[in-house]
Amino acid sequence: MKKIENIIIAGGGTAGWMAAAALGKLLGKAVKITLIESDEIGTVGVGEATIPTMVFFHKLLEINEREFMRETNATFKLGIQFENWRQLNHKYLHAFGVTGKDCWAAGFQHFWLRGKELGIAEEFGHYCLERRAAEEHLFSHLPNNGLNYAFHLDASLYAKYLRKFSEGFGVRRVEGKISHVSTAESNGFIEAITLESGARLEADFFIDCTGFRALLMEQALHTGYEDWSHWLPCDSAIAVQTESTSAPVPYTRSIARTAGWQWRIPLQHRVGNGLVYCSQYLDDESAKKLLLNNIDGEPLNAPRVIKFRTGRRLKQWNKNCLAVGLSSGFLEPLESTSIHLIQQNIIRFLRMFPAGGVVQSDIDEFNRQAEFDIAHIRDFIILHYHVTERNDSEFWRYCRTMEVPESLRHRIQLFKETGRVFRDGNELFDDSWQQVMIGQGLMPKHHHPLVDTMSKEELQTFLQQISKNIDYTLAILSSHEEYVEHYCK
């Protein structure tokens, strides 16, 4: 029960500097915070798309949005367009907003299903403001968070921006490579980190942001890892940046390929591209060719291959060490959740900050909540692969027929038979489930009987009113390109 007065963050990058920014801003006056990183060690830094929870993280830290977007060449993001996922040449957009209008007894999808039967409903996404705005390349800030949005950003510039922010709150950066992590014989807690220079840095608590290597959490504390590659078989990614050839659109593109998928993320000054794939079905050289044959604009760097194994560290908090970022586990960036999971661990740690010393009940509760978060996101990502009509390659045949977690199997079955979707506790995704299930071709057999109490005319008026309200809002939005130009260029 040693009082926490001195914290070391091992590793920089997005994870390290997000942790430093939050701890520095909220605890900098009470706790000494040191971040160790080496200029010689590159960061993975390909994750350039985010989700709306980042807006709230920035509000918590009182970060100036305009300044942040200018410094990171950011654009706005309203969702992700999925191309070739359900079948070749089919696309749909998973947007950040809520679709339609729910009734307390039945979700909007039930009203929509009945409308489809009667031939009076547009496609499901037509009733979502964010989806319509994304497709029409529109954006504006609306009062009362009327438009849900996130960002496309340059991850390396974001780390630099947060470094400057953190140092303003007293965070100290130490340059150097970690050569050794010392643990106490009595309880196995980490005592100190030794650098290659010979410098030894001691602390009461350590945050592991050393990426896939997990120098503290795995190599020093031997925490263990749960492998999820039987559900998420992609194990490789190639990233390349290209010159912009057109105006940035307010959505990420995710284009399914024969053994994985390609991302396209538009920033102000360039485009981030990448291919996530399974090496069992596609070798690295063929993957590079596939990616380079499907990009617009001249490449700005040589493509680099990143190897990974999907899964989670068995504990996110172990003894006096917290894993943040890739050291805590990895879910591929299909739904842009990497930065969200970083900030979740940081915010949860701040809420449960062990000022008086580390206690096991805190650790157990933290790990329970963290497992809940990542398992629900895992299921949502598996859904995209498993619920598909694609049968054109060995990879897609595997994904279609693989066994999925029981929690996901139940959700799919419930929606298929009844059209019902229930949010489990405080899980991240809500409306997204039906957007993706319908987008992937999963249509319920039945709708809620409540909808049948409405006449055709009443239902038609209800659907038309939702559509008219969206039309009215779209009319007052700016073009995304023009808005970025005057707001944060």
**DSSP H helical segments within 37-154, as ranges?**
53-61, 65-71, 108-118, 129-135
Nearest to 341 by CA among 292, 332, 487, 59: 332
Task: Give dist(CA 75, CA 69) in Å, integer.
Answer: 7
Contact 192, 182 (CB under 8 A): yes
Is residue 77 annotated as a catalytic residue, yes or no?
A: yes
* Beta strand pairing call for 205-208 and 91-95: unpaired
DSSP string of 32-61, one letter each residue: EEEEEE-TTSPP-----B--THHHHHHHHH
Distances (CA, A) of 446 to 111, 417, 418: 11, 6, 5
What is residue 141's DSSP assignment? -
For residue 314, the Cα-to-chain-centroid distance in whole angstroms is 20
Nearest to 117 by CA among 457, 473, 456, 386: 456
Sequence-ordered list of residues with C-beta below 8 angstroms from that of 120, at least 6 positions apart, any chain: 456, 459, 460, 463
**DSSP H helical segments within 248-359, as ranges?**
284-292, 338-351
Task: Give dist(CA 136, CA 187) in Å, integer.
Answer: 59
Contact 281, 258 (CB under 8 A): yes
Residue of 77, 289, 468, 489 with catalytic role: 77
Burial per residue of 14-31, b for 16 or more beta-carbon CB atoms within 10 angstroms, e otherwise = bbbbbbbbbbbbbbbeeb
Residue type, 152: H
Q: Catalytic amino acids?
A: 77
